[in-house]
Amino acid sequence: MIAKQLAQVQEKICGACERSGRSRSEVTLIAVSKTKPVTMIREVMAHGIQDFGENKAQEIVDKTSQITEPLRWHMIGHLQRNKVKYIADRVFMIHSVDSLRLAKEIDKEAAKCSRVIPILIEVNVAGEESKFGVSVEETLPLIQSAAQFPNIRISGLMTIAPFVENPEENRRIFRTLRKLYIDIKTKNIDNVYMEYLSMGMTNDYEVAIEEGASFVRVGTGIFGERNYNAV
Ligand SMILES: *Cc1c(COP(=O)(O)O)cnc(C)c1O
């Protein structure tokens, strides 16, 4: 089942790249494996996927202890400062930075393990009450302040678009994030590297790719529905 669903996702990614004149190599698929067991992750790995997304520090610790192959683990969920120390040496990138205090903590823990951790700033483009992330207006000031930290690499922006029936409704959200990304990139701020746009989930990743996504985060579309009661 996973092989077939993964193949369908790959096909749709290729289609979206073709429609928007982009090269497939510009888009990285992150398989969002939260709540899913190691056996399922191994099945996806067998098809060449090396990027996995998780939203809980504990789950990253557990899974990286069981799977020691060199994968890229992406922290995509809200991260509390007191959890950073557990994942600093295990994650490839943190997509969900939305405060200076969190950026500072990541910098501190990254220094302890002698690395520079790539981070993305999470932007709540739609201004939804229920979501984490900074507003569009707060993004540049946060980046300007966080640029002082030598052990993080500010690598781009991330957003979680609203859940909508028709993914077309989120096109303007993705477009807004891309515009913000370009605006900031143009400023050539020291120690700020606008390289990645993390946007698009199962429901809307094709539209996100058409609007410039470099990371799409797909869970349900690959692994099937999540059952939170089972874990
Ligand atoms: C769970 C999650 C996803 C994947 O969601 P699906 O709709 O299952 O594809 C993507 N991004 C974030 C931040 C998530 O928490």
Minimal CA–CA distance to 213: which of 229, 226, 200, 203?
200
Distance from residue 195's CA to the centre of ligand 1 (Å): 21
pTM: 0.97
Distance from residue 167's CA to the centre of ligand 1 (Å): 15
- For residue 230, name the pLDDT band (cuts at 50, 70, 90): low
The pLDDT value recorded for residue 2 is: 95
Kindly tell me if the per-residue pLDDT of 164 is higher than 60. Answer: yes
The pLDDT value recorded for residue 226 is: 92
Local structure of 54: helix, strand or coil? strand
Contacts of residue 198, defined as CB under 8 A and 6 or more positions apart, other chains included, come to 30, 76, 95, 120, 156, 157, 158, 159, 213, 214, 215, 217
**Residue-wise pLDDT tens digits, 67-117:** 999 999 999 999 999 999 999 999 999 999 999 999 999 999 999 999 999
Separation of alpha carbons 47 and 17, rounded Å = 20
Tell me, what amino acid is at 64?
T
Distance from residue 135's CA to the centre of ligand 1 (Å): 20
C-beta 50 within 6 A of ligand 1 = no
Separation of alpha carbons 35 and 47, rounded Å = 20
The pLDDT value recorded for residue 72 is: 98
Minimal CA–CA distance to 32: which of 93, 85, 77?
77
- Which percentage of the chain shows pLDDT scores above 70? 99
Q: Cα 107 to chain center, whole Å?
A: 18
Token pair in block for residue 135? 């507003």
